[in-house]
Amino acid sequence: MRSSQPTAPTSRTGSCLCGGVRFSIHGELAPIQICHCSQCRKAQGGPLATNVPVSANQLQWLAGQELLREFESSPGKVRAFCSVCGSPVYSQRGHQPDVLRIRAGLLDEPLDAPLAFHQHTASRARWWPETQDSLPQYDAARPA
């Protein structure tokens, strides 16, 4: 007997604004992390960043990897973006070289990954309303 429950896809696709950088992520997605730090605000051009940590072996570049440019925003932290449209694509920390933090907004819908937590809420944009959801909140980085 077959289940009538839909199953979660085993891979997800995503792309930058111009479509030049395209990728797929294989396997289950980790929950989406929400960051309110000033660097993420500047990099995203908005009040926060939404990131999905992905193991490098889960990620497959479908097109445009040569379009990616990197910027070391702080010692040991690289942010990659599309050199054509400027879309932020991922960030990567030197102490976790096998983990890319893909920007959740690049993933194609529907997206069933839950939200995980808010971090760096002490430095949130004062013009953005305080978070009213029930997710865990951390004034600084989420403790390991």
Render pLDDT for 68-118 as a digit per residue (tens, 0 to 9): 999 999 999 999 999 999 999 999 999 999 999 999 999 999 998 999 999
Mean pLDDT of the chain: 93
Beta 99-103 vs 115-119: how paired, if at all? unpaired
Beta 115-119 vs 32-35: how paired, if at all? parallel
d(CA 35, CA 77): 15
Residues 59-67 have a mean pLDDT of 98
10-123 folds as: 2.170.150
Residues 11-37 have a mean pLDDT of 97
* Single-letter amino acid code for the residue at 1: M
Domain boundaries, the chain: 10-123
The CB density around residue 75, as the number of other CB atoms within 10 Å, is 6
- Look up the pTM and report it: 0.89
State phi, psi for 98 to the nearest 5 degrees: -95, 10
Q: Residue 144 has what pLDDT?
A: 79
